[in-house]
Amino acid sequence: MLEFLQRVLGKSFSSKKIAKERLRLVLLHDRTCLTPEILDSLKGDLIQVISRYMVIDEKNLDVSLNTEDESVALVANIPILKVKQIS
């Protein structure tokens, strides 16, 4: 998942941030029983489906999993540049 974020956001992460992200992924995996590969695939599929209907700003999108108490939420902030005309 970290590689996905780096590729999409074009950002590099410090060792501290990488370690924190890995720990977060381990906790998410324990709570959701999803592997990081499945999470990456889910995010890619989400972006692919939205891209069929809208032109999005892939450089500024943010897709993440947030945890609060015992729940996990998929949070997507995807800037929409325009809606495609579908015929």
When divided into structural domains, the chain yields a total of: 1
Whole-prediction pTM: 0.53
The Cα–Cα gap between 52 and 2 comes to: 25
The per-residue pLDDT for 49 is 92
pLDDT, one tens digit per residue, over 74-83 is 788 899 999 9
The per-residue pLDDT for 44 is 86
The per-residue pLDDT for 38 is 79
| DSSP structure string for 12-60 | ---HHHHHHHHHHHHHHHHHH---HHHHHHHHHHHHHHHHHHEEE-GGG
Which range marks the domain in which residue 37 is found?
A: 2-83
pLDDT, one tens digit per residue, over 11-37 is 555 778 778 777 776 666 666 666 778
**For the stretch 20-42, what's the b/e string if a residue is b when 16 or more beta carbons lie within 10 angstroms of its beta carbon?**
ebeebbeebeeeeebebeebbee
The pLDDT-based confidence of 66 (bands split at 50, 70, 90) is confident
